[in-house]
Structure 1
């Protein structure tokens, strides 16, 4: 009976009532699609880490079957991941993506590297891998565009026995392994940690937005439920009807959002990270996670809807009479102050999970304190108003600070994200771009002169003009200021194998890892801020339209009393922009405060530009979203005799 009545009321709400329902469905769909993206990002980085783990060998305790060593090579300013393998026993299991274990001298290339070998002249790349026997499968690659070479060697070859330096730039030392399973590398774990923090920065605003979706057109629903209470409906019936209505709409929105996310996966897979795009399959969350999101979103919306029913259940007459609810309590501000006081202590913990929880708490406290600050702003605005628009805006903020906060909360919380990421956005590496390129390789003690002479001979044979000299254990080949990328790659190919297991590198090559990390951080920042702004703009637009529907009777009566439409529109803009300015600025400061424990130096220019751009885009988005709802305001005030629901 309750479900049937709920369905009748949902369908019988009239054209504008159905518009409110569609707004809620749209809000839930946007939240679900972006929430799935945030969840899928973590699964995608996990999949990459697992597929690349075999290149990060684990030393064998006993029963070693092979020697494995990973190193970097370079071509056209791109990194090639080279894995040198040597079998210690017959019938060693094949590495991932290969039909068998490579024999000495054989090479297996990734599809992207094989294509590059075909495109470039042989003396620039192909001569480094003279005996190519096959193409690596996807299970051996971190991403589709990755450049990977697997090269076989004899167990006593220098490539698999010469000692190496164990750091991020130089090759890893040779390792005897009992299997090629490996473990995720340190950089893979770093990306996982960054993905977790980015997810928190995206998920918390999404959850807030999803919860707010349940409160869209809340005044219309509360009036209807209060009327049912006054004619004899029990509190239990009111709660069940509210949950049923909210969850029906939320489930439809969640399914729509999931479908939209699935359609968007091919586009999302083009986002470059860690040097390339994504396998589309990596971006789909597991079936269990997908089911969890599709269940959690309607439950969140249902709980949020029930949380707002206290006044309807306890005091339906007060709702029907539109009495002003009691003021919010200062304890909300105390909660934020407590979290900010302990945040630097929590940030000292090396656990990424603890840092993520601390960020989530700060986020939620900003959302908690928002309505209290909006109410305070309303009292100040009403007390200092010098015109009808200011007075209307101030009284509206005082009467319903929660509704006003829902309109600006998306952009305010985005301000938190911008303040946090703005201070952490790093500047790029600085180097002497005008300096002539030169290749350096470290030789073993006692072989520096011999390696230097061999380098001169190889470069001369390849017809690469260069000045070769040595400094301590480093052999340097200066290629001259006229050397282009092709010349550098010809020199790299000529010097390949000069010192077994070591790759000749330029200064840019030595900085490549750091450059790639900074580029990925910038991409991640753009993605997180883009998601946050999508939520913010959608939230501002949807809640602005919903607010007009909630107050259409009030707007109609004000027009009937002679209030110009322009005054109503100015008041509506003021009740958005005034709290947005205060809370947006406050959220940016809170985000910046939370970023200070992680700062490694002075504030970067890139970070400040990012922060200013976010502020401008946020204000422009909210103003634009408000302008789009102006025709709706004109529509609801056209009827000179507005009728209550």
Structure 2
């Protein structure tokens, strides 16, 4: 009976009631789509790590079947992953993406590398990997368009036996392995850790927004349920009707949000991070994740709806008489201060899990303390008001600080994210400009001979260069420097790389920019991640502001009508509506940004970057503009509900 009555109330709410339902449905759809993105990106990085694990060999304790080594090569500003393999037994397993184990001398290229080798002159790239046997399948690639070469060798080949310098360009190897399963690399694990923190920064505002969606048009629903209580409905019936109504709308919104996310997945897969874009299958959540989200979102909305029923159940007459609810307690602010007190104890060495938990708690406590602070702002605003619009705005903030907080909470929480991430942009790496000098590591006792061979190879390739043995050492190796001249362009550098390929087995000629490339890529990825997180947060903030602003007008349409009957001009009502948004937004937005900066202080290295300050200022401007724009969209609705100010029966 409760379900049937809830369905009848949904259908029979009239035009304004249906608009309220659509607002809630839209809010749930937005939060579901973005929640799926925040969750799926973690699984996407896991899938990447698993696909690339075979390149990170694990030494065999016994029963070795192959020798594996990995290194990086470069062409222009692109990175090439080179995997050297040699079989120890005839039944060595096929690597991922290959039909069989590569024979000595065979070369297999990824589709993108094969295409690039065909486009560039042979002396710039193809000469390093002659006569490729075939192309690798997608299961061997971390991302689409990745440049990968797999080269087969004999087990006693110098490439598979010579010692290598211990640096990230050479990587791990040669290593005798019992299988090609491998393990996710340290880089992959680092990206997963950063993604976990980013997910917390996205998920918590989404959960807050999802919970707030259940309380949209709460005043109208409270009035309706209070009337049912006064005519004899039991508390249990009220709770069941509320849950049924909320879950019906939330389930429809969750399904719509899942459909929107599925449609947007190809666009999201184009976001380049970690070296390239994604396979669409990476960003699509699995059936289990999808089922959990589709159950969790309606459950959260239902619980949030029930949480606001205490006044209706305990004192329906007070709701019907529109009594002001009791003030909130200062303990909300104490909880926030306690959560913030944890951050000075953290450092850059703290585990990602602890940082993620601390951030989550800080988020929740900001959301908990927000209504109390809004109420305080309302009392100050009303007490200092000199004009009717400001007085109305202050009284409204005092009367229902929770509703006012819901309007600005999105931008306030986004300000927290911006304050935390905006100033953390790393800037300790080089400028990334390509150097016209190549360096190759050679055993100390062979350095002079290698330098002579390098001169001969470069002369044969028609590359003018000055070759000398540097005093710089890497482990047991000494660097041989190849100066190509200040006017040497990228084609010349690539011809020199190709001419020197294989000069020292297992070693790659590199520039200074190559040595910095991982740091530069990490810098670029952090910036992209920051933009993605802030974009999600802004979308939540603007959607939250627009939806809650319209919902607030629907909740107070009777109050607005009575004020219009009393002679209040529409412009005064509109100014009051704007003031009750902008005043708490200015205070809470600025406070949230400062809170985020405070939380980021233990993790700052090298001071504050200019890029971080620009990001922060952009966030502030975009946040205010988004909320003002979203609020302006609700002005026609205000005009509509006050067009006929005659009192309604409800």
Query: Which of 511, 532, 549 is matched with 2:554 structurally?
Result: 549
Aligned to 2:450: 451
The answer to whether 1:509 aligns with 2:508 is no
**Partner of residue 529 from structure 1, selected from 526, 534, 540:** 534
Partner of 1:464: 463
Question: What is aligned with 2:475?
Answer: none
- Cα deviation 1:381-435 (Å, max 9, x = unaligned): 00000100110000000000000000000000000000000121123733494x8
Separation in structure 1 between the aligned mates of residue 183 and residue 592 of structure 2, nearest angstrom = 40
Instruction: Answer whether contact 1:343 1:358 (CA < 8 A) is retained.
Output: yes
Shift of the alpha carbon at 1:310?
A: 0.3
What is the CA distance between 1:466 and its match in structure 2? 1.1
Q: Does 1:104 align with 2:109?
A: no
Report whether the alignment pairs 1:45 with 2:50.
no
1:4 to partner: Cα distance: 1.2
Partner of 2:503: 498
Q: Which whole-Å CA distance do the structure 2 matches of 1:351 and 1:469 have between them?
A: 45
2:416 and 2:596 in contact (8 A); partners too = yes
User: CA 1:346–1:72 in structure 2 vs 1: closer, same or farther (change >3 Å)?
Assistant: same
Q: What is the match of residue 575 of structure 2?
A: 570
Question: 1 CA distance for matches of 2:161 and 2:372?
Answer: 67
2:479 counterpart of 1:474: yes
Residues paired across the two proteins, number:
644
Equivalent residue of 1:19, what SS? helix
Moved more, 88-97 or 323-332: 88-97
| Aligned partners of 1:436 and 1:480 also within 8 Å | no
> Displacement of 1:281 after TM fit?
0.5
Q: Residues 606, 111 of structure 1: CA spacing in aligned structure 2 closer, same or farther, 3 A cutoff?
A: same
Mapped contact 1:254–1:298 kept (Cα < 8 A)? yes
In the TM superposition, what is the alpha-carbon distance from 1:446 to its structure 2 partner? Answer: 1.2
Deviations 1:343-364 (A, max 9, x none): 3335577432221111100000
**In structure 1, the residue corresponding to 2:443 is in which secondary structure?**
coil
User: Aligned to 1:468, what secondary structure does the other structure show?
Assistant: strand
- The 1-side partners of 2:75 and 2:55 are apart by 20
Distance 1:58 1:424, change over 3 A: same
Find the counterpart in structure 1 of residue 215 from structure 2: 215
* Aligned pairs (5 A) from 1:76-155: 76-155=76-155
For 2:620 and 2:522, how far apart are their aligned partners in 1?
26
Secondary structure of the corresponding residue to residue 81 of structure 1 = strand
- 2:384 aligned residue: 384
CA 1:380/1:296 → structure 2, altered by over 3 Å: closer, same or farther?
A: same
SS of aligned partner of 1:187: helix
The aligned residue for residue 310 of structure 2 is 310
Closer/same/farther in 2, CA of residues 339 and 462 from structure 1, 3 Å limit:
same
Deviations 1:193-252 (A, max 9, x none): 011111000000000000000000000000000000001100000000000000000000
Between 24-33 and 129-138, the greater mean CA deviation after superposition: 129-138
- CA–CA distance in structure 1, aligned partners of residues 201 and 645 of structure 2: 46
Per mean C-alpha deviation after superposition, the further-off stretch among 339-348 and 48-57 is: 339-348
- The answer (yes or no) to whether the contact 1:166–1:173 under 8 Å persists in 2 is no
- Cα 1:400–1:78 change in 2 (3 A) is same
Alignment gaps of 5+ in structure 2? 472-477
Structure-1 separation of matches of 2:26 and 2:36: 15
CA distance in 1, matches of 2:432, 2:291: 53
Measured in 1, the distance between the counterparts of 2:178 and 2:573 equals 75
Q: Is the 8 A contact 1:197 1:356 kept in 2?
A: yes
TM-superposed deviation, 1:549 = 0.3
Partner of residue 540, structure 1: 545
CA distance in 2, matches of 1:341, 1:209: 26
In structure 2, relative to structure 1, the CA distance for the partners of 1:432 and 1:522 (3 Å cut) is: closer
Do the aligned residues in 2 keep the contact of 1:98 with 1:137 (CA within 8 Å)?
yes
* Preserved CA contact (<8 Å) 1:144 1:277: yes
Runs of 5+ consecutive residues of structure 1 not aligned to the other structure: none
CA apart distance, 1:640: 2.7
Give the 3-state SS of the residue equivalent to 1:122 in structure 2: coil
RMSD value over aligned CA atoms?
A: 1.2
The equivalent of 1:205 in structure 2 is 205
